Structure 1
Amino acid sequence: MNKSSNALANFGWAALPFIFLLVFWSLLRMTGLINPTLLPSPTEVAQTLWIHLNEGDYLINVWMSVQRVVLGLVMGMLLAVPVGFLIGWYKPVRRFVDPLINFFRALPPIALIPLAIVYLGIGEVAKVAILFYASFFAAVIVMYEGMIQISPVYIRVARTLGATDLEIFRKVMLPMTVPHMLTALRVALGVAWATLVASELVAAQQGLGAMIQNASAFFDLRTIYLGIISIGALALLMDIALRRISNRLVSWQDKAEH
C-alpha cells in the first residue's frame, strides 16, 4: 500500500507541470494575446490526434521516427563507447583527437544534409547517418570526460596489487564508467530526438518530422503542434525508461558510498 501511494504521489508530481502547461496554454488562447487561428487549443490538437489515428498514418509516423532514432542512437553508442575509452585512457590520443571531436561536434547536423544526400542518397541510410553523427559526438564527449574524472588512486592501488593494464581496464575502469555510459546514452538520446526533424528533411515521406514538414506546407498548425508534442512525449518516455534502467544498474554505487 505504501509503495502504491508513493508511486501515485510521484506520478502526480510528474504530471503537475504538464497540467500547468495545459492550463497556461488554454488561458493564453482565451486572453486573445495571440490570434486563436495561430494557436490551436489543446482540445483541437487532441481531435487532430484522433483523426490521424483513425486515418492510420500517425502510428506509422511514430514507428518510423522511433526506428530511425534507435538505429542512429545504437550505432552512435557502439562507436562512442570504445572511442571514449581510447581517448580517456591514452593522453597522447586525447591530445590528438580532442580538437577534431570538438570541431565536428560544433557542426549542426542540418548543415550536413546536402552532403548526406550526395554521398548516401535520399533513402533511410542518409537519415540514420545524420542521427548517428549527432548521437556519436554527443556521447563520446560524455564518455571521455567521465573517464578522465575517475580518481587515479584506484589505478595506483590496482597496480600496487600487481594488476595488469587489461585487469585494471576490465575490473576497475569498466565498472566505474558504467554510470558515464548511461549518462552518455541519455544525452545522445536527447540529441537524436532533437535532430530527428533535420534528418527527415532528406526526402522523408513518413515520420513525425515529415508530418510536421508536410503540415507546414498547408499551414496546418494543429498537426504541427501534434508532431512537436509527440516528439517531446516520446523522448520523455524513453528518457524515463533509461533513468530507471540506470538506477538499477548503478545502485551498487549508492550502497558502496554508504
Structure 2
Amino acid sequence: MDTVQVPPHLAEAPQRRRSRHLAPLQPVAANTRWLLGLGFFVLFVLVWAIFTLGGFVSPTFLASPLTMAREGWLLFTEYNFIHDIGMTVWRVLGGFVLASVIAVPLGIAMGAYKGVEAFFEPFVSFCRYLPASAFIPLLILWAGIGEMQKILVIFIGSFFQVTLMVAVTVGSARRDLVEAAYTLGASDQGIIRRVLIPGAAPGIAETLRLVLGWAWTYVIVAELIGSSSGIGHMITDSQALLNTGQIIFGIIVIGLIGLVSDLAFKALNRKLFAWSSI
C-alpha cells in the first residue's frame, strides 16, 4: 500500500492542542452563551455602581443604579410610564409595518427585474443615506405634530433600507436553480413565486429583524419634538430637570424592549425557516 508523503515542514511542526472554547469559529453551548452574556451585564452594572456610589462621578451627571431603579419605580407608580411605553411601541410598529408592506414587494421587484432595479435603485440608494431626523421639520409642516408625523419618521428611516436589502437578497438567487426551473417549464411569474421568493425568504426575514432594531433609534428622535407622550418625551422632560436617573431608566427600557423583540424575531425566523442556516 502506498504511503502518503507529508511535507517536511509540516512533519516537523509541533502538534498544538486546540482550545475547546477559544478556537476560531468554535460554537458555544447555549447555556454558556447565556452565562457569558449575563456576565457582561453584571460586570457593567458593577463598574457603574463603583464609579457612582464610590463618589467618583457626580450624581448630576450620572445617577447610580439604585437611584435609577428608584426613579423607574416612580415613573411607573406616579407618572403612568406604561402609557408612554405603549405609545412608543405603537409608533415603532406602525411605521415599521407600513414601510415593510411597501418596501418588501418593491425590493422583490427590483431584485427580480433588472429594468425595475435600474429605474429605482439610484433614487433608493440616494435616499438611504439621508438621515430621517432631517425630515422632521418638513414632516411637521406636512403632517403636523400628531402621530402621523412620528410614524412617517420611522417609515422614512426604514423604507429605503428594507427596499435595497431585499433587492440585493432576491437578486443574489442561485442561477442554476432559475435555469433548472425554466427547463422544467416554469413561467416568469412561476420563477418569482416558486424560486426567487422562497429562496430569499430567510434573508428577507433577517433583513426585517435588523431594520426593526434601527426603527427603535428613529422613534426617539421623532418623540423629541412636538410630543406629549412616549419614552422620548419622558427623556426630554427628565433632561430639563437634570434627572439622569429617569433618563438612564428610559434608555434601558428601550434596550430591553428592543432585545425582547429581537429575540422573538429570531425565534420566529428559526421556526419558519428551520431548513435555513440563518
User: Normalized against structure 2, the TM-score is what?
Assistant: 0.85
Determine whether 1:186 maps to 2:209: yes
Tell me the residue number matched to 2:96: 73
The Cα shift of 1:37 comes to 2.8
- What residue identity is the alignment partner of 2:99? G
What does residue 7 of structure 2 align with? none
RMSD: 1.7
Matches of 1:116 and 1:171, distance apart in 2: 40
Please tell me whether the aligned partners of residues 142 and 183 of structure 1 are also in contact (alpha carbons under 8 angstroms): no
Partner of 2:200: 177
In structure 2, what is the equivalent of residue 3 of structure 1?
Answer: none
Structure 1 residue 196 corresponds to structure 2 residue 219 = yes
Find out whether 1:156 has 2:194 as its counterpart. no
When residues 29 and 202 of structure 1 are mapped into structure 2, their CA distance, relative to the original with a 3 A threshold, is closer
Give 1:14-33 correspondences, 5 Å limit.
14-30=37-53, 32-33=55-56
| Displacement of 1:14 | 3.4
Partner of 1:217: 240
* Aligned-pair CA distance for 1:34: 2.9
Partner of 1:111: 134
Alpha-carbon distance between aligned partners in 2 of 1:242 and 1:211, rounded to the nearest angstrom: 27
Matched, 1:49 2:84: no
Q: What is the aligned counterpart of 1:168 among 180, 186, 191?
A: 191
1:134 matched to 2:157? The reply is yes
Classify 1:201/1:36 alpha carbon distance in 2 versus 1 (closer, same or farther; 3 Å).
Answer: closer
Give the partner amino acid of 1:173: L
Give the letter aligned to residue 222 of structure 1: G
CA-to-aligned-CA distance 1:134-158 (integer Å, 9 cap, x gap): 1212211221111122111111110
Match of 1:40 in 2: 63
Structure 2 portions without partners, runs of 5+? 1-28
Pair 1:146-2:163 in alignment: no
Counting matched residue pairs gives 249
Q: 1:72–1:131: 8 Å Cα contact kept in structure 2?
A: yes
Percent identity, aligned pairs only, is 33
Distance 2:52 2:224 in 1: 31
| 8 Å Cα contact 1:139-1:187 kept in structure 2 | no
| Residue identity in the other structure for 1:52 | L
Q: Is the 8 A contact 1:85 1:147 kept in 2?
A: yes
Return closer, same or farther for 1:32/1:99 CA change in 2, 3 Å cut-off: farther
Moved more, 69-78 or 173-182: 173-182
Following the alignment from structure 1 to structure 2, what is the Cα–Cα distance between the partners of residues 99 and 122?
31
* Contact 2:53-2:64 within 8 A present in 1 as well: no
5+ long unaligned stretches in structure 1: 1-5
Q: Is structure 2 residue 257 aligned with structure 1 residue 226?
A: no
